[in-house]
Amino acid sequence: MTTSVGTIAQIALRRLGVRVVPLDDSPTLTEMVPAATLATAALVELGVIASDETPSPSDQALMLDKVASVHASLDAQGVVWWDSTAMPRAFAEEYVKLAAAYGASSFGKATDPAVVVLLEGRVKKGAMVLSADDNAQQAVQSVHNDLVMRGIARWTVFDIPDALSDPYATLAADALAPLFGMDTDAKDTAEAMLSIFRYVALPTSGQTVVGTYF
């Protein structure tokens, strides 16, 4: 039995507590909200219009520009990668409040600069979770590449033995931990490598392995 890179990546993320639910089962991270909708919501947030009112074209255009500025600021910080015309539902409220903060002075209202830092931090943290799947798969690939370069792995990345899925996940989690502000456990790393060495040390059964191709 073998285990895929994707499966091991999910195990590593669950081990870290970063992504317990697979990305495909998280609709709030894949549903996109148009920038125009966020702009209108920001006007409501500021009290410029009521929730059942339609904004004037000039106010809507101004706030739409603020939404674009919010996105540009986050993009310049290397936080986001989605298009500026629509944002993931998971970050809609942060975009709305940030746009309101950016546009507050235009309507004679004050805003707290600390709120901007807080909201940007929430988007950054959420974006890391959203990209966790790709990062985790890269981490698993790196673990495998390291084992190959050290002459330890005698299998390919496409047929990682099921018995090594947990050690691989542990090593991948160690590589991912700094991205999420977590520490690694040297003891876990050592035990993972010991498990791999034990597996490699097992004698061959002498049976010829026949590949099956579909």
How far, in Å, CA of 182 to CA of 86, rounded?
31
3 state DSSP class of 147: helix
Whether residue 103 is contained in a domain is answered as yes
**Domain, as residue range, for 124:** 25-130
CB 35 within 8 A of CB 67: yes
How far, in Å, CA of 135 to CA of 128, rounded?
9
Whether residue 159 is contained in a domain is answered as no
Phi–psi pair at 77, nearest 5 degrees: -85, 0
Whether residue 97 is contained in a domain is answered as yes
Whether residue 156 is contained in a domain is answered as no
**Lowest-pLDDT choice from 53-62, 77-86, 144-153:** 77-86
Going from the C-alpha of 43 to that of each of 56, 70, 89, 135, the distances in angstroms are 10, 15, 18, 36
Q: Averaged over 187-212, what is the pLDDT?
A: 78
Mean of pLDDT over the chain? 88
Q: Averaged over 155-160, what is the pLDDT?
A: 92
How far, in Å, CA of 107 to CA of 120, rounded?
22
Whether residue 99 is contained in a domain is answered as yes
Whether residue 108 is contained in a domain is answered as yes
pTM, entire model:
0.68
How far, in Å, CA of 164 to CA of 4, rounded?
11
Q: How many independent structural domains does the chain possess?
A: 1
DSSP letters, 49-78, are S-TTSPPPHHHHHHHHHHHHHHHHHHHHTT
Whether residue 10 is contained in a domain is answered as no
Q: Averaged over 118-140, what is the pLDDT?
A: 88
Whether residue 35 is contained in a domain is answered as yes
Which residues partner with 180 through β-bridges?
none
Q: What is the per-residue pLDDT for 211?
A: 47
Residue pLDDT, tens place only, 89-127: 989 999 999 999 999 999 999 888 899 999 999 998 888
